[in-house]
Amino acid sequence: MAIQFNEKTKQFHLTNGNISYVFEIMRNGQLGQLYFGQALPLEGNYSHLQDKVHYRAMLAQVYENEYRFSLEQIKQEYPSYGTTDFREGAVEVLQQDGSRLSDFCYVSHEIVPGKPKLEGLPATYVEKDEEAETLLVKLMDAKDGMELILSYTIFANFDAIARNAYFKNTGEEVVNLTKAMSLSLDLPDDDYDMVQFSGWWTRERHKKTAHLRQGIQSIGSTRGQSSHTHNPFLILKRPNTDENQGEAMGFSLVYSGNFLAQVEVDTFDTSRVMLGIHPQSFCWQLKPGQHFQTPEAVMTWSDTGLNGMSHIFHELYRSRLAHGVWRDKVCPILINNWEATYFDFDEDKLVRIASKAQEAGVELFVLDDGWFSTRRDDYHGLGDWSPNKELLPNGITGLAQRINDMGMKFGLWVELEMVNKDTPIYKEHPDWIIHVPGRKSSHGRNQYVLDFSRPEVVDYIHDDIYKVLSTADISYIKWDMNRSITECGSAGWPAAQQGEIFHRYILGVYDLYERLTSEFPHILFESCASGGGRFDPGMFYYAPQAWASDDSDACERLFIQYGTSYCYPLSFIGSHVSITPNHQVFRNTSLKFRGDVAYFGSFGYELDLGRLSPEEFEEVKEQIKFMKKYRQLIQYGTFYRIKDPFAGNEAAWMVVSPDKKQAIFGFYRMLSKSCMPFSLTKLPGLDENATYHVTIDNVEEMGSFTGAELMRAGLVTTDEACGEQKTEKKVFCGDFYSRLFLLEAK
Ligand code: DGJ
């Protein structure tokens, strides 16, 4: 791993032997982008990779009597609009004279071992300095005195570069940052497919692919949360790249609030990728001496296809984004009472559900919404975290005790960022909600958003919840957030700083997470936002798992979990078995199908096991046994996507242990068809020299096959149905049919 600055060529070269990132100081003092991709020799001079401007009518030129320096045609590192470049810039500074131009020129640079921390923001980290090296390039706009430090960390063990931008007003006047992206990258061509992960509540992170075209293609959120609508992640891949071969770049923002991720293809076919806080309504005031830190953006490059790109994110995020004791522990198997009871419960009912779950082998009981204050429906009680004594006569302490006495851990749901109007906090402090004074405040699910941009509000909620967490034996918290932010404004900040509220709100959320995770390090936090509305790397820094979606139907989950896996490791993906007919889509699927999908995530149940038939209950016991045996493999193995549900009627995926001695391959068919063709599925990532013994569904022996055969010819996955009745074998092979193949190297 090396970061080198060549004094002669004025080029920076970051490489870890697999990837290179090269840029230069241009003659106007700004930074020009030269290359991102597979490693190049460190000693090379790559200035010719910058397109030299030929005389082209219409290009605006920087230097007089010269036709060879137009920013419109130059690949840049952190561009700004309006001084010969007409594409969207990465930065915009509104100055006292009303102008918005910037000219950030190189001043100095520093190469430091390791990776400096980001103030108040979640970010990837290293445990030892040898794991990474960081380049900090200082630039200055001489006119307004704005200093900019661009930071680039290259990791020794991950083909990833983490970037951020830091601004400091060293001038004498107040300025406003109206745009400050975390990452900008100009690529020399536009022959890419852009893959995004988009949807809505109960259909999060569906994969959508489109070829780049001239103009801007963008995704983003202006909802105050990273959102169900778009995930802060995008992929650029070559059109012929598939899961296992070809070039792919991933761009991920470590942030939970408003974001923008866009690609602008210009008329010369260059592609400008940008990622950062959404500039809509953003305006950050910087008085002399004040600074602003952008969130971190991570970019990866792989030539082993989309699986290769995902492996980089999975490993990096699992081991160097998630932190705390839970990073290295297996996910406990949990049961959550939400779909079992909704608001209709009391202590005895909960204990009955927990005790049945305990009998089946479940390790953690989670009490969801409705345990506090006046909350018997979704109109009341948020913001008052005192237990409802009618429902829970012994409080949370007593209930937790009863659960613990059964030999189970106890977990609790909270939604700390919200209030209903009937609670003391709202009555005492009506101005503590996000609102614009004098305007109507809209509600979402009958609730209002607490103004977490104000430290006193965060302190109040902290002190309240601290009492609950410190007086009961709580091992897990599900931290929910059930609405988007509207009428964004704060009574706690002056007019000139209202453009800061969206970001300050998220900083407040991070601050509370930081405090609670340090005060209660033994607690496993799971994030949630009406399912997967804040399923982003910012959250995973604090909470190493997240409820992926409120859609718990196994067939819908194939799509959601498949899409989610492009950036996020399985251990982050909360996936539970729920009841049939399913509560979101009213579909009936077998318990086996539901289990086979839910295994590939942080596994649990979302139903009352007491309502199952004795046969089903036995099946649940077997599922739990299976998961306990293989969760290590599922959590720490290498995950491969094999068959894409977005492309057809089948889905398949596999996890392979790091030593390649064990693998679990899940094969799913949605709708049954008659007389299906013979089918072979190639299994990537195995040891071609090993011989694997294959068992289907943990019982049926299939035979032994070499890794070479499974990887090159494939495993026979012909559907059992194929138009035949298999009743004597009791094979279920109608709609929503799944098989798990277990591979063990002999
Ligand atoms: C939304 C979550 O996604 C659900 O799992 C559940 O916790 C409800 N909120 C409770 O209100």
Query: Which of 286, 320, 354 is the C-terminal boundary of a domain?
Result: 320
Tell me, yes or no, whether 167 lies in a domain: yes
Give 719's pLDDT tier (boundaries 50, 70, 90): confident
* Single-letter residue type at 679: S
Q: Print the domain residue range for 179.
A: 2-320
pLDDT in the model for residue 724: 56
Counts of helices then strands in the chain (DSSP H, E)? 12, 38
Distance 474 CA to ligand 1 centre (A): 19
Q: Are 563 and 206 in contact (CB under 8 A)?
A: yes
Tell me, yes or no, whether 732 lies in a domain: yes
What residues are annotated to the active site? 480, 550
Tell me, yes or no, whether 494 lies in a domain: no
CATH of the domain at 277: 2.70.98.60
Per cent of the chain over pLDDT 90 is 94
* Of 163, 135, 155, 206, nearest in space to 312 by CA: 155
Query: Which of 262, 287, 320 is the C-terminal boundary of a domain?
Result: 320
Tokens of 190: 């536009």
| 167: pLDDT strictly greater than 90 | yes
Give, for ligand 1, the residue of 382, 550, 557 to mutate: max count of ligand atoms closer than 8 Å to Cβ.
550
> What's the average model confidence in pLDDT over 173-182?
98
Q: For ligand 1, which residues put their CB under 6 angstroms from it?
A: 338, 368-369, 413, 480, 482, 528, 530-531, 547, 550
Give, for ligand 1, the residue of 372, 477, 528, 539 to mutate: max count of ligand atoms closer than 8 Å to Cβ.
528
What pLDDT, in 10s, does the model give residues 488-529? Answer: 999 999 999 999 999 999 999 999 999 999 999 999 999 999
Does residue 742 sit in helix, strand or coil?
strand
Q: What is the rounded CA–CA span in Å between residue 60 and residue 669?
A: 57
| 52: pLDDT strictly greater than 70 | no
* Of 153, 148, 109, nearest in space to 129 by CA: 153
pLDDT in the model for residue 675: 78
The average confidence (pLDDT) of the chain is 96
- Indicate which residue's Cα is closest to atom 9 of ligand 1: 530
Q: Are 193 and 237 in contact (CB under 8 A)?
A: yes
What pLDDT, in 10s, does the model give residues 112-134? Answer: 999 999 999 999 999 999 999 99
* Single-letter residue type at 478: K
Burial of 578 (0-12, 13-18, 19+ CB in 10 A): buried
Distance 278 CA to ligand 1 centre (A): 27
CA atoms within 13 A on the CB side of 718: 10
pLDDT in the model for residue 66: 84
Q: What is the rounded CA–CA span in Å between residue 24 and residue 7?
A: 10
* Single-letter residue type at 184: S
pLDDT in the model for residue 720: 67
What pLDDT, in 10s, does the model give residues 608-652? Answer: 999 999 999 999 999 999 999 999 999 999 999 999 999 999 999
Distance 133 CA to ligand 1 centre (A): 41
> What is the tally of structural domains in the chain?
2
Tell me, yes or no, whether 404 lies in a domain: no
Distance 346 CA to ligand 1 centre (A): 18
What are the angstrom distances between the C-alpha of 418 and each of 154, 289, 348, 370, 493? 39, 34, 28, 14, 19
Q: What is the DSSP string of 78-127?
A: S-BTTSS--SPPSEEEE-TTS------EEEEEEEEES-PPPTTS-----S
Tell me, yes or no, whether 176 lies in a domain: yes
Q: Are 147 and 139 in contact (CB under 8 A)?
A: yes
Q: What is the rounded CA–CA span in Å between residue 565 and residue 573?
A: 8
What pLDDT, in 10s, does the model give residues 55-94? Answer: 667 888 899 988 889 999 999 999 999 999 999 999 999 9
Phi and psi at 401, nearest 5°, equal -60, -45
CATH of the domain at 681: 2.60.40.1180
Tell me, yes or no, whether 78 lies in a domain: yes
Model confidence pTM above 0.95: yes
Query: Which of 269, 295, 320 is the C-terminal boundary of a domain?
Result: 320
- How many C-beta atoms lie closer than 10 Å to residue 176's C-beta? 20
Q: What is the rounded CA–CA span in Å between residue 105 and residue 141?
A: 6
